[in-house]
Amino acid sequence: MSETKEPTWWERLGVRWPWRGAQSAPRPAHPKTAFVLAGGGSRGAVQIGMLAELVARGVKADRVYGASVGAINGAAYAGNPTAEGVEQMEEIWRNLTGAEIFPRSALDGPWLFFQKRPSVHANTGLRAIIEAGVHFENLENSIVPFELVTTSLTDGRERWIAHGNAVEAILASSAIPSIFPPVTIDGDVLVDGGVVNNVPISRAIAAGCTRIFVLLCGPLHYHPRQPRRPAEAALTAFFVAIHARFVRELTDLPPGVEVVVFSGGGEPASQYRDFSGTATMIAEGRAEVAEVLDRYVGTSHDLTEESVPAR
């Protein structure tokens, strides 16, 4: 019988980060698994496809961490980590329109950004979506332990929330600066967690997770387009900055921690209100996870092997 050929390091590099310090830190029999869902606006649909395939393959999270749109999808999964739960979120995503999330006002276009108000859009549409997809009142009531990250406008630091009203916390983590209004929780004014930690693997590592599945909404290596306007240059600089932290953390993993990255494919939509590619992104997310998991079936790095839930 021929021996199963293991993927080479170069083959693994594109889709997963190899074990760091594997010789000195043996692979645990039952890894403590985390799902980390990044921000990415309308491209968050790709995470629904990823979650659908992970659930279908029996891959379960012991902890879930989310930022921005990843907080919305992560909370929905944590509240109902089943195929039915993911199907419900998929239905919500497939029916989303930009007008629902980002309602237009009488004054539309670039002039919206010059109004004397805290944000371009109200968060009423976003609140309705969260309430439709998240079925627990407080974060501590989720089936899978869940935490989300926000950015404090009080002191500029990242603030993690694991307790209290779920909808308010998710709204805060998803409050894209200038697009949605800040949310005040316990006297702290909060905005999108992606500003300070868009891919919060550090939180999962600090909690003792040894296998981390990262669900991105865009490519692992960010190659921004050449900006043509000052506003585009500012947004490009913002995305470069938040992406750089994740890349640095990937290169400095502690021994015994394995990170599996699902990139999510393409670049952000040119219009933040564009949800026309939702169905395609869901299919792409599912296909990417299937391809990665299939690659390691039958090897010592099998990602779908049966495991005992971590405590």
Q: pLDDT tens across 25-53, in order?
A: 455 557 899 999 999 888 999 999 999 99
Residue 81 has pLDDT above 50, yes or no: yes
What gap in Å lies between CA 16 and CA 72, rounded to an integer? 24
pLDDT in tens, 85-120: 999 999 999 998 888 887 766 555 444 544 555 667
H helical segments located in the chain? 9-13, 45-56, 69-79, 83-94, 98-101, 124-133, 166-173, 194-197, 201-206, 230-250, 278-296
What gap in Å lies between CA 73 and CA 46, rounded to an integer? 10
- Residue 213's pLDDT is what? 97
Residue 288 has pLDDT above 80, yes or no: yes
Could you tell me if 183 and 168 are in contact, meaning their C-beta atoms sit under 8 angstroms apart? yes
- Residue 40's pLDDT is what? 87
- Residue 23's pLDDT is what? 36
What are the structure tokens assigned to 213, written together? 């599945």
- Residue 19's pLDDT is what? 38
What gap in Å lies between CA 216 and CA 308, rounded to an integer? 26
- Residue 272's pLDDT is what? 64
For helices 124-133 and 166-173, what crossing angle results, to 10°?
A: 130
CA torsion, points 106, 109, 110, 115, in degrees to nearest 10? 10
What gap in Å lies between CA 304 and CA 145, rounded to an integer? 21
**The residue type at 36:** V
Residue 129: C-alpha distances to residues 170, 233, 249, 257, 286 (Å): 11, 31, 32, 35, 22
The partner residues of 192 in beta bridges, in order of sequence, read 150
- The most confident of the ranges 113-127, 183-197, 224-238 is 183-197
Confidence label for 266 from pLDDT (cuts 50, 70 and 90):
low
- Candidate from 69-78, 115-124, 155-164 with smallest mean pLDDT: 115-124
Could you tell me if 181 and 175 are in contact, meaning their C-beta atoms sit under 8 angstroms apart? yes
Confidence label for 126 from pLDDT (cuts 50, 70 and 90):
very high
- Residue 3's pLDDT is what? 45
Rg (CA), the chain: 19
* Longest CA pairwise span in the chain (Å): 73
Interior angle at CA 83, CA 77 and CA 86, nearest 5 = 40
Residue 55 has pLDDT above 80, yes or no: yes
Residue 69 has pLDDT above 80, yes or no: yes
Q: Give me the mean pLDDT over the 281-305 stretch.
A: 86
- Residue 243's pLDDT is what? 75
The predicted model scores a pTM of: 0.83
Q: Mean pLDDT in the chain?
A: 82
